């Protein structure tokens, strides 16, 4: 799977032509669907209902009866009436049955794998990935994605490719089905002539120590002229940069000698496997040495001056990290938004140099609730063809992989159009779920962690609230302790307990904290009656007393300023 990037067996023009031919049918299908999103949505929903009509979930929710609707509007209404919009916990019992080996529960047969990500409880979400979803959605979309790269930067395959994804196999369910990274599987399924240009072999993801892992990846990657890089979260790219700032001289020494420094905790069997991909390269070492002498503190644009394309998120809270990545890039490099991509669903792709994702109504059935209606007990659901430019919505999705009217808790905004189909970009998680660098921390988890810290310390908390700070890449936790003698030092101890509890409850939070992409949370002690003071402020600004509701974990600079004004001096 590993490459020798200096050897280009085919001209890039011929490779790009091959990518165009591979993407031809998926592009035609997308183009037809995008011209009439209502009809495409109807056809997609009928296909999903037909595929899963005889599953346990399909029978319980009358899929075969819904399909008898003759017109699109009737079909949409019956589906909405029969299947409640839900979050993952509603699907967990069905997933557990699949995990134990039962067939035809959420999807026909069994999942080919599960993608794992954080959930509202300490138990991660296990997102089923079906064969048909991987074949007809992920692979087809990847062909369009690769062709798009060739259009945006024709020379993106002239050097090495640095692809940072998670491990394909994290473990196995009870019935032997793997769970792990769907992005890893996607990378594995890329055409062989693409995979051969990867500069880091998959075994690097087996390195447990984060600093050692980043060192190994960068030591391998910087030995080559990289022209394409993909890392879903820009904070990962910044960690590579920080690693380079600390260990640049060590890279030069390793590359010159053909070694992998013994200063890092890397298991012997992994070192042995990596040794097959390492050889002395005095010429590359001399180039890097000259870069260090010229610039003092080299940047990506110095050690990879021919970098053509980077693909990672730029929207929502990742915009701050993305701006720092942009400063690192050479002028020839296009920094392209990765697109609306989650463990649960590959919603859409960015196919230009903007931030709006092109949606695929021929693969997914989408529904939306306006931002202003999110607090309503019975909000109206809008379909793809009903969205309006500039409006913000919470998105719900039905897939070919066992999720039905699934609430992503993502706030998106319509920013453009692909023919008659809206294009969207991520704004942020909906209040109660906050994500700075992909950790998806839930209000429920924060509350439970604070209660655990109370129990461990014996310090009663009358009121508490947390805010995400994307600029500092950390959280601010505020407490009103019943014991007024508790000040900052003890509050920091309390927060350390909260932090450790959150790590045990949220696998993504733990990963981001351990890799330093997410900083340690900060502590603040509030004045007495903090809740009443915040409520009074809200009422003065127009909130209705009978409808006042304070979310305990959020990203809201305005409200955080209120809370900062009542910190104990």
To which H or E segment does residue 492 belong?
Answer: helix 488-505
pLDDT of the residue at 376: 87
Q: Using CA atoms, how far apart are residues 565 and 551, in angstroms rounded to an integer?
A: 18
Per-residue pLDDT tens over the stretch 55-76: 999 999 999 999 999 999 999 9
| Per-residue exposure over 246-270, b if at least 16 CB sit within 10 Å of its own CB, e if not | ebbebbbebbbeeebbeebebeeeb
On the question of pLDDT at 538 being above 60, the answer is yes
pLDDT of the residue at 3: 47
Q: Using CA atoms, how far apart are residues 180 and 21, in angstroms rounded to an integer?
A: 31
pLDDT of the residue at 121: 64
**Mean pLDDT of the residues in the chain:** 91
On the question of pLDDT at 5 being above 50, the answer is no
pLDDT of the residue at 556: 85
On the question of pLDDT at 503 being above 70, the answer is yes
Q: What are phi and psi of 70, to 5 degrees?
A: -85, -30
Per-residue pLDDT tens over the stretch 93-119: 999 999 999 999 999 999 999 998 876
For 337-358, what is the mean pLDDT?
89
pLDDT of the residue at 430: 83
Per-residue pLDDT tens over the stretch 379-431: 999 999 999 999 999 999 999 999 999 999 888 999 999 999 999 998 878 86
On the question of pLDDT at 86 being above 60, the answer is yes
Per-residue pLDDT tens over the stretch 188-240: 778 888 888 999 998 998 898 989 999 999 999 999 999 999 998 888 899 89
Classify residue 15 by burial, with Cβ atoms within 10 Å: 0-12, 13-18, 19+.
buried
DSSP state of 122: S
pLDDT of the residue at 120: 65
Q: Using CA atoms, how far apart are residues 132 and 528, in angstroms rounded to an integer?
A: 57
270 vs 66, 212, 277, 278, 515, CA distance in Å? 53, 12, 12, 13, 20
Q: Using CA atoms, how far apart are residues 403 and 224, in angstroms rounded to an integer?
A: 41
Pairwise pLDDT comparison (139 vs 391), residue with the higher score: 391
On the question of pLDDT at 518 being above 90, the answer is yes
The mean-pLDDT minimum among 2-11, 190-199, 342-351, 494-503 falls in 2-11
Number of CB atoms found within 10 A of residue 295's CB: 12
With a CB cutoff of 8 Å and minimum separation 6, the contacts of 74 are none
| Structure confidence at residue 1 as a pLDDT band (50, 70, 90) | very low
pLDDT of the residue at 378: 92
């Amino acid at each position: 799977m590993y490459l020798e990037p200096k050897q280009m067996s085919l001209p890039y023009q011929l490779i790009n032509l091959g990518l165009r031919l591979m993407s031809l049918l998926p592009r035609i299908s997308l183009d037809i669907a995008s011209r009439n999103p209502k009809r495409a949505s109807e056809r997609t929903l009928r296909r999903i209902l037909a595929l899963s009509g005889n599953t346990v979930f399909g029978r319980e929710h009358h899929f075969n009866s819904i399909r008898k609707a003759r017109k699109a509007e009737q079909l949409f209404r019956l589906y909405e009436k029969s299947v409640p919009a839900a979050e993952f916990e509603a699907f967990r019992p069905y997933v557990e049955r699949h995990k134990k080996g039962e067939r035809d529960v959420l999807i026909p047969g069994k999942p080919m794998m599960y993608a794992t990500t954080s959930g509202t409880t300490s138990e991660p979400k296990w997102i089923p990935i079906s064969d048909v979803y991987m074949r007809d959605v992920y692979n087809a979309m990847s062909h369009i994605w690769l062709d798009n790269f060739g259009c945006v930067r024709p020379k993106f395959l002239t050097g090495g490719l640095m692809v940072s994804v998670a491990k394909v196999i994290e473990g196995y369910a009870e019935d032997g089905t793997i769970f792990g990274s769907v992005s890893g599987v996607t990378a594995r399924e890329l055409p062989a002539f693409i995979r051969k240009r990867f500069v880091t072999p998959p075994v690097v993801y087996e390195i447990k120590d984060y600093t050692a892992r980043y060192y190994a990846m960068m030591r391998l990657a910087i030995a080559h002229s990289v022209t394409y890089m993909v890392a879903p979260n820009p904070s990962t790219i910044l960690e590579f940069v920080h690693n380079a700032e600390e260990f640049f001289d060590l890279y030069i020494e390793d590359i010159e000698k053909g070694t992998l420094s013994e200063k890092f905790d890397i298991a012997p069997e992994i070192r042995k496997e990596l040794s097959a991909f390492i050889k002395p390269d005095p010429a590359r070492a001399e180039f890097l040495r000259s870069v260090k002498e010229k610039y003092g503190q080299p940047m990506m644009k110095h050690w990879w001056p021919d970098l053509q394309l980077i693909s990672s998120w730029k929207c929502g809270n990742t915009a701050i990290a993305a701006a720092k990545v942009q400063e690192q890039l050479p002028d020839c490099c296009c920094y392209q938004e990765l697109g609306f991509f989650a463990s649960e669903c590959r919603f859409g792709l960015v196919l230009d140099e903007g931030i709006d994702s092109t949606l695929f109504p021929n693969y997914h059935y989408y529904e939306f609730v306006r931002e202003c209606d999110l607090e309503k007990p019975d909000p109206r659901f809008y379909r793809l063809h009903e969205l309006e430019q500039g409006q913000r919505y919470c998105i719900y999705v039905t897939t070919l992989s066992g999720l039905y009217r699934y609430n992503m808790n993502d706030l998106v905004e319509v920013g453009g159009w692909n023919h008659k189909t809206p294009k969207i970009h991520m704004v942020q998680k909906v209040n109660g779920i906050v994500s700075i660098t992909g950790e998806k921390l839930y209000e429920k988890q924060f509350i439970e962690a604070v209660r655990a810290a109370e129990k461990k310390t014996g310090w009663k908390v009358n009121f508490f609230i947390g805010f995400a700070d994307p600029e500092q890449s950390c959280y601010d936790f505020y407490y009103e302790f019943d014991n007024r003698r508790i000040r900052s030092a003890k509050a920091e101890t309390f927060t350390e307990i909260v932090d450790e509890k959150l790590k045990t409850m949220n696998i993504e939070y733990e990963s981001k904290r351990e890799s330093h992409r997410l900083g340690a949370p900060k502590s603040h002690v509030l004045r007495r009656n903090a809740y009443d003071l915040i409520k009074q402020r809200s009422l003065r600004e127009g909130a209705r007393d009978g409808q006042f509701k304070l979310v305990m974990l959020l990203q809201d600079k305005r409200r955080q300023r209120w809370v900062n004004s009542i910190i104990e001096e």
